Amino acid sequence: MVSDLDGETARLREAGPVVRIDLLGVPAWTVTSHAVARRLLADSRLVKDLDQWRLRQDGTVTSAWPLIGMIDVPPSMFTADGPEHRRLRAKIAQALTPRRVEDLRPVIEGLVAGLLDDLEAEAEAEAEAAASAEGVADLKHTFAAPLPMSVVCILMGVPVAEIPELMRLFKVFFSMLTPQDERLKSIEALETYFLDLARQKKAAPEDDLTSALILADEGGEPMSIQEVAGNLHAMVAAGHETTITLITNAVRALLTHPEQLRMVLDGAVGWDAVIEETLRWDPPTSHVLMRFATEDIEAPEADGLVIEKGEGVVMSYRAMGRDRAQHGGAADVFDITRQATRHLSFGHGPHVCPGAALSRLEAAIALPALFARFPGLRLAVPAAELRVMPILTQNDMESMPVALG
């Protein structure tokens, strides 16, 4: 858990483009430079194969390590390399088409409208209970969190009644406060759930992404049921958590920069600029675990530093987003009028996020609808009092109390 994310980001960035770090007792390297990350993310000598990690080979890292669930996961596109990754990626691309994503637009719009009603009802109930003129609602738990989980579950063909339990299991999985035995049980429950879902869809295919993955025939041999389940697990985990934080971080940035919010509401700057600047300046994912060197790699632009064979490498996306060499001397400043510069918050190279378009679409619908409904929206507590989630890898907050205005 990081209590001073800005301070950590600055220290990592100032320490160099590739920095030695300690991950809860486990040594690793982290990349903080945009340019270095672009090269290493495309380097075939850095792989996702956990068996290449020297600390796994020698027994230093076991199932007792709190972060093991982030990397020791069921086989999927996110863990494969080389030809096997290309085979799985081709099937994801065949199933998760731009048309399928765009077809979700009316679904997202309907969900957003209903969640805005829920947000208003929560604030009204709180005002009545406190006998005050204005109530407070939790923007994260009532609006930002249910939206992407509902969207990704509808996309996958998950029954709506099962969404709350999935949300609970993922919360247990991500939290660094969860005892390791409980986290391992949540991982097992999630693996069982997605395996059962894949089997059900194979027996009775429907018009959803799970069925499309099962039927996908691009790129060679069809996915096994285990591969379908592993990809579902990874896509739901990444797809909902990232979008929750994109929405809340964008709202926090705008509410703490009212002059920029006014530019957006007046139409001087578009919502796309808000989304991209949020992704750069305050990305949903602080650090992504982990890649492993299959041979000694001299890190580019790092004064001869060598990542040795078998060592682990973390990508620190928040530090990259504040990289002055890429984003200029004012990289620490939130500025939606900034001349667009490429960021890496959805990754780069073979493992670039396949759900980036869907996440952007959800934010592009949710944010303008929220401020159109509640133009007087404001934080109900000082921004400095918003508590961060006990998650090492995610840039998330526990709750976001707001007054609707």
147-205 pLDDT, tens digit per residue, is 999 999 999 999 989 999 999 999 888 887 889 899 899 999 999 999 999 999 999 99
Q: What does the pLDDT read at residue 303? A: 86
Of all residues in the chain, what percent carry a pLDDT higher than 70?
Answer: 99
39-74 pLDDT, tens digit per residue, is 999 999 999 999 999 999 999 999 899 899 888 888
195-213 pLDDT, tens digit per residue, is 999 999 999 999 999 999 9
271-290: average pLDDT: 95
Residue 353 pLDDT > 80, yes or no? yes
Mean of per-residue pLDDT scores for the chain: 93
Residue 390 pLDDT > 90, yes or no? no
Q: What does the pLDDT read at residue 3? A: 67
Residue 110 pLDDT > 60, yes or no? yes
Sorting pLDDT into bands at 50, 70 and 90, what band is 389?
confident
285-319 pLDDT, tens digit per residue, is 999 999 999 999 999 888 889 999 999 999 999 99
Task: Reduce the secondary structure of the chain to three states and give it as a string.
Answer: CCCCHHHHHHHHHHHCCEEEEEECCEEEEEECCHHHHHHHHCCCCEECCHHHCHHHHCCCCCCCCCCHHHHCCCCCCCCCCHHHHHHHHHHHHHHCCHHHHHCCHHHHHHHHHHHHHHHHHHHHHHHHHHCCCCCEEEHHHHHHCHHHHHHHHHHHCCCHHHHHHHHHHHHHHHCCCCCHHHHHHHHHHHHHHHHHHHHHHHHCCCCCHHHHHHHCCCCCCCCCHHHHHHHHHHHHHHHHHHHHHHHHHHHHHHHCCHHHHHHHHCCCCCHHHHHHHHHHHCCCECEEEEEEECCCEECCCCCCCEECCCCEEEEEHHHHHCCHHHHCCCCCCCCCCCCCCCCCCCCCHHHCCCCHHHHHHHHHHHHHHHHHHCCCCEECCCHHHCCECCCCCECCECCCEEECC
Q: What does the pLDDT read at residue 365? A: 98
Of all residues in the chain, what percent carry a pLDDT higher than 90?
Answer: 80
Q: What does the pLDDT read at residue 391? A: 75
What's the number of domains the chain is made of? 1
Residue 1 pLDDT > 60, yes or no? no
Q: What is the CATH classification number for the domain harbouring 51?
A: 1.10.630.10
227-266 pLDDT, tens digit per residue, is 999 999 999 988 888 999 999 999 999 999 999 999 999 9
Residue 97 pLDDT > 70, yes or no? yes
Q: Which domain holds residue 54?
A: 5-403
